[in-house]
Chain A
Amino acid sequence: MKKRRAKSKLLKKLFWRWNEEKQTDFFDYALLFLVLFLVAFGLVIVFSTSAYTGELRKHDPAYYLKRQGFFAVAGIMVMLFLSELDYHIWKKASKIIMIGTFILLVAVLLAGVASHGATRWLGVGSFQFQPSEVAKIVIILYTAHLATIKAIKLNNWKTMARVAAFPMVCIALIAKENLSTAIICSAIVMMIIFVTSPRIKEFIILAIVMIAVMAIFLAAASYRLERLYVWRHPENYEKGYQTLQALYAIGSGGIFGKGLGQSIQKLGFIPESHNDYIFSVICEELGLFGAVCVICIFLLLIWRCAMIALSAPDLFGALIVVGVITHIAVQVFVNIGVVTNTLPPTGVPLPFISYGGTALFMLLSEMGLVLSVARQLKLPKEY
């Protein structure tokens, strides 16, 4: 029934699905609330961390808040719009947008705008965005689609490689400028294939091989090894400055923190405290209690997504949600891991909270996809 509807009414009802009488009336308000809460909380913390820098650099304490707020509003609108679209339209579209993204990634390498020492931005007039952020959602859709098609055959290396091939090419392009995003994208691809495939042994081998490759990769160049030394003893290295400042902020927060807005480390001690190291300011201002609350919200969000994935109407929907879960989970883990000096330093923003327009917009779009999958859940009436 579902298949037929998707086929027959796809074009006609492309953007007006909510008029269809057969749709379930379910909408995951709990997930929506969690997302909105995170976004609102993020705006508060972005304002808190950037007001001083904003006043100093742009003579407007709300400069960063306004920009982030604009992307938040736009992102929420797109999220709500996507949640009303039937996600199956992305099956067909995924290949085309994947090729589009590939072109964008090549373009950014050729004609990108450099900022913070890396060429990651693509500018059209005054509008700039990061193709690598767009790539995350596109890779989720494309891999989910391909994995769904090849689901039955996904029990051998060859098929797995074929599914992963095109995304990996894109990831290689990303890795050139932004290793951490490339790792996140690889994790997404791997996780989607892992969930689809009936095999386990291959993935264990793969994990071992990847760890080995990583070790060789690190040991091959001394500057990468240096990063490890900095990680172990940040106080001895100039490059450990940011990590050390983050630790000062986290440590001085204590159990209940200094109170919202009371961070001192954000006053220029932590460079770009509204970006990747925003979590350290959350720790300083809201304490261990606040930090654990934030982690719990993320866990609730992931749990809610996992529930959607488990009861998704089809494999494609489930895989989209798995991709999104992987994306959020890896980013939260790496971000907090880096800020607490649990992992070697690398620049990964905290989902929904860190300052950054493209990232927030894309994350909200992903949540729109998840909400769209949730819209078609098969639920008992009384639920």
Chain B
Amino acid sequence: MSKTYTRKKIFFLTISILLVMSLLVVRLAYLMIAKSEYYLQKAEALHERERSIKAKRGILYDRNGVELAGNKAVCSVSVIHSQITDEEAVIRALCSVLQMEEQAVRKKVEANTIREKIKSNVEKETADRLREMNLEGVMIDEDYKRYYPYDSLASKVIGFTGSDNQGIVGLEVYYDAVLQGTPGSILTMTDAYGRELENEAENRVEPVSGHNLKISIDVNIQKYAEQAAINVLKSKQAKRVSVVLMNPQNGEIYAMVNVPEYDLNQPYRLVRAEDLYRDKSGEPDNGSLTEQKKKDALNAMWRNFCISDSYEPGSTFKTVTATAALEEGVVSVNDTFSCPGFRIVEDRKIRCHKVSGHGTETFREGIMNSCNPVFMDVGARVGPERMYQNYRKLGLFERTGVDLPGEASSIMHKLEKVKAVELATMSFGQSIQITPMQLLRAASAIVNGGNLVTPHFAMCVTDEKGRKLHTYSFPVKEHAIEEHTSDVMRELLEAVVAEGSGSKGQVPGYRVGGKTATSEKLPRGNKKYISSFMGFAPADHPTVIGLILIDEPTGVYYGGTIAAPVMAEIFSNVLPYLGLEAEYSEEDLKKTSAVFFEDSVE
């Protein structure tokens, strides 16, 4: 028998063990009661994987409620490994129906994971064919894909979306927050390797659809304008043609065309102007392009010239010079000037487009003739400081604020560097660069009574049921210029079309005002031009103002000859469409028959 102290020590040992174990129980109780919630949350955050459910993207409507961008049901195909009974049959079916490489499909089918996605964005018909085969272990999920019913219409305005439902260019990105909605999610439990666990309750958060956006584009006006632009692009073999039509009173843009447009449903397919000349829409040979070159070409294709590029406006800018002169009171309509065909400014001889000169003429006639020496004189009278003040009043030093991404700003001389030569060239729209949108905005203020509007597309936001949630209003700078100046300018510009260089912009039955321009592109001497025409109607109270730019036309390149008639054609369609009644005068009626006669001769 063991000694007493041994027994005592064994007893002591046992009690010690009991005490120490009690400590562990206390520790466990602390962890499992007091800290339970904390660790449970941490563990769940670790186990849960979020599978997101795409939200339905908001629809883009034109001003009359025509769908410009919507959603099309597509499907995604995935396989669930454990449910597959005949692997080979599944692989064969997937390969043939989805037209995929066998190796890639086999890898995914044979992967020992809970769920493997085979292909997304599968057309519904294709998916239905797969569904009819009734293959075990093949799952087909409905999904949405952005769809543009009018393909290329207003492509550079609308823009397109990426695979994650996010806007990439155009209105799609500018109003992404409105359109996108909130994606939903399915919370599933996974093991440490990310495999989803079966038989675990799914925690589902429903997606919230994006809101619908109504924009000021009118599909019909856009179509007219686009057709007219394509016609002139083809006939003049031009590099590109841009047309913007806007309501000068409030800045709503009716149409913005930049041909060649690209197919919004296939935004990564290159479209070139040459293809349009021949009405060819075959596959362009992308293969010959390097990756970087293709990227650049795509970026150029997506670019909206009207807002993202600046150019020398040329003679259309004379409206700005005239406005400045009238604002400053340095000229009156009947002041006389003389044009010998050039003007010597400091050491330079700056020519008028009419080499023989316009002779003695009034200011009014100077505008009608688009006479450079007249504007050089007028510009000199205004002087650099006051000229810049007026530029500023007309918003030429700021972006227009149009609701599209990527707007460029103007390129101007520094005021202290504006000497006589610079001032003279600026006066007829050279040596400075502005965007077409800036010109149109300034012109709107000049003809609408003096209010500087913000050009824009967005009109209102509606929810899925069509209820109006928000109406956009864009800032207007009232009385940017004197109303009287605007009245005079309207009258002068109407005269340009009625009797002057813009005569080809006449539309029978309507009072049209406007100004033509032919600007030689930089660098000079390459014989590359931008022919343009800015027109508005009705001249007494304009509700439409338009700008057309023909980039690098071949053959005749005078704006008055090639650009003005296109705008006239567009106006002749758009003005009645907008509910403006034609009022034919006797003269108009005669002219109309003459025009028809001429047409038939051609």
The residues of A with any CB-CB pair to B shorter than 8 Å are: 52, 151, 191, 194-196, 198, 247-255, 264-265, 267-269, 283, 287-288, 291-292, 295, 298-299, 302-303, 306, 309-310, 312-315, 318, 322, 325-326, 329, 332-333, 336-337, 340, 342
What residues on A are CB-neighbors of B24 within 8 Å?
A: 295, 333, 336-337, 340, 342
Contact with A along B395-426 (1 / 0, CB 8 A): 00000000000000000000000000000000
> Chain B: how many interface residues by the 8 Å CB criterion?
39
Q: Which of A253, A333, A337 contacts B32 (CB 8 A)?
A: A253
Task: Check B43–A248 contact: CB distance below 8 A.
Answer: yes
Task: Check B11–A299 contact: CB distance below 8 A.
Answer: no
Q: Is B119 an interface residue (CB 8 A)?
A: no
Q: Is B522 an interface residue (CB 8 A)?
A: no
A217 CB to nearest B CB, Å: 22
Q: Which of A310, A315, A326 contacts B11 (CB 8 A)?
A: A310
Task: Give the CA-CA distance A198 to B2 in the complex, in Å.
Answer: 12
What residues on B are CB-neighbors of A322 within 8 Å?
A: 10, 13
Asked whether A251 and B40 contact (CB < 8 A) given A264-B197, A299-B17, A340-B24, the answer is: yes
Task: Give the CA-CA distance A251 to B27 in the complex, in Å.
Answer: 11
Task: Check A302–B6 contact: CB distance below 8 A.
Answer: no
What residues on B are CB-neighbors of A194 within 8 Å?
A: 9
Task: Give the CA-CA distance A333 to B25 in the complex, in Å.
Answer: 11
Contact with A along B9-42 (1 / 0, CB 8 A): 1110110011011011101110111011011101
Task: Give the CA-CA distance A291 to B25 in the complex, in Å.
Answer: 8
Task: Check A299–B191 contact: CB distance below 8 A.
Answer: no
Q: Which of B7, B20, B36, B193 contacts A251 (CB 8 A)?
A: B36
Q: Is B3 an interface residue (CB 8 A)?
A: yes
Task: Check B33–A288 contact: CB distance below 8 A.
Answer: yes
Task: Check B43–A318 contact: CB distance below 8 A.
Answer: no
Smallest CB-CB separation from B30: which chain A residue? Answer: A340
What residues on B are CB-neighbors of A264 within 8 Å?
A: 43, 47, 189, 191, 197
Task: Give the CA-CA distance A332 to B7 in the complex, in Å.
Answer: 23
Task: Give the CA-CA distance A151 to B6 in the complex, in Å.
Answer: 10
Q: Is B5 an interface residue (CB 8 A)?
A: yes
Asked whether A288 and B21 contact (CB < 8 A) given A264-B191, A268-B192, A268-B193, the answer is: no
Inter-chain pairs besides A264-B47, A295-B28, 8 sampled, C-beta below 8 Å: A248-B46, A268-B192, A288-B33, A299-B18, A302-B14, A306-B14, A315-B3, A340-B27
Q: Is B355 an interface residue (CB 8 A)?
A: no
What residues on A are CB-neighbors of B35 within 8 Å?
A: 251
The residues of B with any CB-CB pair to A shorter than 8 Å are: 1-3, 5-7, 9-11, 13-14, 17-18, 20-21, 23-25, 27-29, 31-33, 35-36, 38-40, 42-44, 46-47, 189, 191-193, 197
Q: What would be 18 A-B contacts, judged by CB atoms less than 8 Å apart?
A: A151-B3, A195-B9, A248-B39, A250-B31, A251-B31, A251-B35, A252-B36, A252-B39, A264-B191, A268-B191, A268-B193, A291-B28, A299-B18, A314-B2, A322-B13, A325-B14, A333-B17, A337-B27
Asked whether A283 and B32 contact (CB < 8 A) given A329-B17, A342-B24, the answer is: yes
What residues on A are CB-neighbors of B2 within 8 Å?
A: 312, 314-315, 318
Asked whether A255 and B28 contact (CB < 8 A) given A195-B6, A198-B3, A322-B10, the answer is: no
Task: Give the CA-CA distance A283 to B31 in the complex, in Å.
Answer: 10
Task: Check B191–A342 contact: CB distance below 8 A.
Answer: no
Task: Check A196–B6 contact: CB distance below 8 A.
Answer: yes
Task: Check B5–A309 contact: CB distance below 8 A.
Answer: no
What residues on A are CB-neighbors of B13 within 8 Å?
A: 191, 195, 306, 322, 325-326
Query: Interface centre among B35, B36, B38, by most A CB within 10 Å?
Result: B36
A380 CB to nearest B CB, Å: 15
A233 CB to nearest B CB, Å: 15
Task: Give the CA-CA distance A269 to B36 in the complex, in Å.
Answer: 18
Q: Which 3 A-B pairs have the closest CB atoms?
A: A251-B39, A268-B192, A267-B191
Smallest CB-CB separation from A336: which chain B residue? Answer: B24
Task: Give the CA-CA distance A161 to B85 in the complex, in Å.
Answer: 70
Task: Check B43–A283 contact: CB distance below 8 A.
Answer: no
A350 CB to nearest B CB, Å: 12
Asked whether A332 and B192 contact (CB < 8 A) given A248-B46, A252-B39, A255-B33, the answer is: no
What residues on A are CB-neighbors of B193 within 8 Å?
A: 268
A331 CB to nearest B CB, Å: 12
Task: Check B17–A283 contact: CB distance below 8 A.
Answer: no
What residues on A are CB-neighbors of B28 within 8 Å?
A: 250, 283, 288, 291-292, 295, 336, 340
Task: Check A299–B1 contact: CB distance below 8 A.
Answer: no
A355 CB to nearest B CB, Å: 18
B115 CB to nearest A CB, Å: 16
Task: Check A299–B21 contact: CB distance below 8 A.
Answer: yes
What residues on B are CB-neighbors of A295 within 8 Å?
A: 21, 24-25, 28
A101 CB to nearest B CB, Å: 25
Task: Give the CA-CA distance A81 to B274 in the complex, in Å.
Answer: 97
Smallest CB-CB separation from B35: which chain A residue? Answer: A251
Asked whether A333 and B31 contact (CB < 8 A) given A247-B39, A306-B13, A318-B2, the answer is: no
What residues on A are CB-neighbors of B36 within 8 Å?
A: 251-255
What residues on B are CB-neighbors of A253 within 8 Å?
A: 32, 36
Task: Check A251–B9 contact: CB distance below 8 A.
Answer: no
What residues on B are CB-neighbors of A325 within 8 Å?
A: 13-14, 17
What residues on B are CB-neighbors of A291 within 8 Å?
A: 28, 32
Task: Give the CA-CA distance A198 to B5 in the complex, in Å.
Answer: 6
Asked whether A342 and B17 contact (CB < 8 A) given A255-B33, A268-B192, A318-B6, the answer is: no
What residues on B are CB-neighbors of A267 within 8 Å?
A: 191-192, 197
Task: Check A292–B31 contact: CB distance below 8 A.
Answer: no
Task: Give the CA-CA distance A298 to B27 in the complex, in Å.
Answer: 17
What residues on A are CB-neighbors of B5 within 8 Å?
A: 198
What residues on A are CB-neighbors of B25 within 8 Å?
A: 292, 295
Task: Check A313–B1 contact: CB distance below 8 A.
Answer: yes
Task: Check A310–B17 contact: CB distance below 8 A.
Answer: no
What residues on B are CB-neighbors of A329 within 8 Å?
A: 17, 20-21
Task: Give the CA-CA distance A268 to B191 in the complex, in Å.
Answer: 6
A13 CB to nearest B CB, Å: 23
A309 CB to nearest B CB, Å: 5
Task: Check B31–A247 contact: CB distance below 8 A.
Answer: yes
Smallest CB-CB separation from A269: which chain B residue? Answer: B192
Smallest CB-CB separation from B191: which chain A residue? Answer: A267
Task: Check A252–B197 contact: CB distance below 8 A.
Answer: no
Q: Which of B1, B31, B38 contacts A314 (CB 8 A)?
A: B1
A262 CB to nearest B CB, Å: 10
Smallest CB-CB separation from B37: which chain A residue? Answer: A251
Q: Which of B6, B10, B32 contacts A250 (CB 8 A)?
A: B32
A75 CB to nearest B CB, Å: 23
Task: Give the CA-CA distance A264 to B196 in the complex, in Å.
Answer: 12
Task: Give the CA-CA distance A199 to B191 in the complex, in Å.
Answer: 55
Asked whether A332 and B21 contact (CB < 8 A) given A250-B32, A268-B192, the answer is: yes
Task: Give the CA-CA distance A291 to B31 in the complex, in Å.
Answer: 12
What residues on A are CB-neighbors of B33 within 8 Å?
A: 254-255, 288
Q: Which of B17, B38, B44 contacts A302 (CB 8 A)?
A: B17
A259 CB to nearest B CB, Å: 13
Task: Check A310–B7 contact: CB distance below 8 A.
Answer: yes
Task: Check B21–A269 contact: CB distance below 8 A.
Answer: no
Task: Give the CA-CA distance A81 to B291 in the complex, in Å.
Answer: 79
B31 CB to nearest A CB, Å: 5
What residues on A are CB-neighbors of B39 within 8 Å?
A: 247-248, 250-252
Task: Check A342–B29 contact: CB distance below 8 A.
Answer: no
What residues on B are CB-neighbors of A315 within 8 Å?
A: 2-3, 6
Task: Give the CA-CA distance A298 to B193 in the complex, in Å.
Answer: 35
What residues on B are CB-neighbors of A252 within 8 Å?
A: 36, 39-40, 43-44
Q: Which of A251, A265, A292, A303 contacts B14 (CB 8 A)?
A: A303
Smallest CB-CB separation from A52: which chain B residue? Answer: B191
Query: Interface centre among A248, A310, A326, by most B CB within 10 Å?
Result: A248
Task: Check A269–B46 contact: CB distance below 8 A.
Answer: yes
What residues on B are CB-neighbors of A247 within 8 Å?
A: 31, 39
Task: Check B21–A249 contact: CB distance below 8 A.
Answer: no
Task: Check B192–A288 contact: CB distance below 8 A.
Answer: no
What residues on B are CB-neighbors of A306 within 8 Å?
A: 10-11, 13-14
